[in-house]
Structure 1
Amino acid sequence: MYLTRLRVNTARVGARQLLSSPQRLHAAVMSSFAEIPVTGDDGPRVLWRVDATSRAETYLYIVGPAKPDLTHLVEQAGWPDTGRWETYDYAPLLDRLSTGDRWSFRLTANPVHTARRRDDEPTKITPHVGLRHQSRWLLQRQEGAGFKVMEKPQQQRLIPEGDEYELVIHNRRQLNFGKGGQQQRVSLVTVTFDGLLEVTDPDAFRRTLTRGLGRAKAYGCGLMTLAAV
């Protein structure tokens, strides 16, 4: 497995076109591989995410079972003369994960649930829009994903309820873009989770890091990245 990072030049028209359409960016990411990685249902897959930093820098992150070649993305959305991308071997980090490890994490996800207005209607996939429901969406999946979000010490909780966890939810986005020659429209609500976690099941957590969490993985959701606490 490999983790790749590319800084995006948002001043370029090509970059803005890619960032405005997860469908286009997905196609560009998959074009980074001479041979599209073939994975089974339980194997690793290609995941990606776009991050904006506090210094107004935008980065594209890619995790996959093969090394990508981002030359075309540098030419379209980077700095062709000086731009480079960084690729790291992800295996050493994955291999050393163990129960009790604590990490800072970031995850952009598509938190949804199924709902119906009347009993005689079929269920419909509906986005969670409230912060509490979005937080609950992640907490409900943490056990199966091999981690738990850390709880805050009692003295650090600003309000009696709803501030129990080391978790911040931000960058809520409503995405609408074309798919399949623009004939089909896709609508997504995405949010970014930043927080602290503890590994509870290393094998399950490795699957989370290499398979993604939640829906809309082709559109920049599901990739969790870690940093030292």
Structure 2
Amino acid sequence: MHLTRFRLHTARSGARCLLSSPQAMHAAVMSSFPHILPTAEHTPRVLWRIDRNTTAEVMLFVLSPDRPDLTHLVEQAGWPAAATPDNPGWQTYAYTPFLERLEKGTAWNFRLTANPVHNARTRDDQPTKRTAHLTSRHQLQWLLTRQDAAGFRVLAKPEDRRHTEHGDEHQLIVRDQRSLNFGKRGVPGRVTLTTVTYDGRLEVTEPDALRRVLTTGLGKAKAYGCGLMTLAPVG
């Protein structure tokens, strides 16, 4: 597995075009792998995520089985004149050694952009429909109900910093909620989805289960920038 980081040049129109459409970004990401044909029925799982750290610091992360070639993204949405053979405009790291070092009981900071949804019906005589969670409380619960199966436990805050009546007893925040509405090329209608970003601290409970989540994603809308969880050392 490989984890790739690419900074978008947000002042360029090409970058703004990609950031405005998850469908366009998905197509650009998948074009980074020359052996994957757009018409292929079965393609390897590729996860990606946009981190909007500041207005000028917007990062694309890509997790993939193979090493990508982001030359087209550099030309469209990066700094092509600054690219060199040693620094082509993106950084790719071997991810498998990191995954193999995950151990039970270790603590990590994590980030996840996800599409928290549930199945609900407006009337008893109607079938259930996939519906987005729109409040922070329900979005937090969406992640907390999945942590055991995903091989981790979100750590609790120290007792003197807990406010259980507000539902914030965990070292976890939900931010950057976005309502997306975009078209798919060649498909009638439009796609609508809600995304949020989770920042928090976790403890590994089942390393193999967590490895599966880190490599296959968590939740729905993985093609549209959701599901990729990354870890960083505590402190």
Shorter-chain-normalised TM-score: which range? over 0.9
Matched residues in 2 for 1:198 and 1:61: separation? Answer: 23
Q: Which residue type is aligned with residue 112 of structure 1? A: V
Q: Once superposed, which parts of structure 1, at least 4 consecutive aligned residues long, lie more than 3 Å away?
A: 37-41, 158-161
Structure 1 counterpart SS, 2:80? coil
Verify: 1:139 aligned to 2:144, yes or no.
Answer: yes
Match of 2:21 in 1: 21
Match of 1:91 in 2: 96
After TM superposition, the score normalised by the length of structure 1 is: 0.94
Matched residues in 2 for 1:184 and 1:39: separation? Answer: 22
Alignment of 1:112-191 (within 5 A): 112-158=117-163, 160-181=165-186, 183-191=188-196
Match of 2:86 in 1: none
Q: Deviations over 1:129-153 (max 9, x none)?
A: 0100000000010111110100111
Alignment of 1:193-208 (within 5 A): 193-208=198-213
Matched residues in 2 for 1:46 and 1:166: separation? Answer: 28
Q: Deviations over 1:4-49 (max 9, x none)?
A: 00000011111111110000100000000011399989xx721000
Structure 2 counterpart SS, 1:183? strand
Instruction: Extract unaligned runs of 5+ from structure 2.
Output: 84-88
Structure 1 counterpart SS, 2:6? strand
After TM superposition, the score normalised by the length of structure 2 is: 0.92
Q: Deviations over 1:114-165 (max 9, x none)?
A: 0001121010000000100000000010111110100111101245341110
RMSD: 1.9
Instruction: Extract unaligned runs of 5+ from structure 1.
Output: none
Percent of matched pairs sharing the same residue: 62
Alignment of 1:47-58 (within 5 A): 47-54=47-54, 56-58=56-58
Q: Which residue type is aligned with residue 16 of structure 2? A: R
How many aligned positions are there? 227
Quick one: which of 213, 226, 229 aligns to 2:231? 226
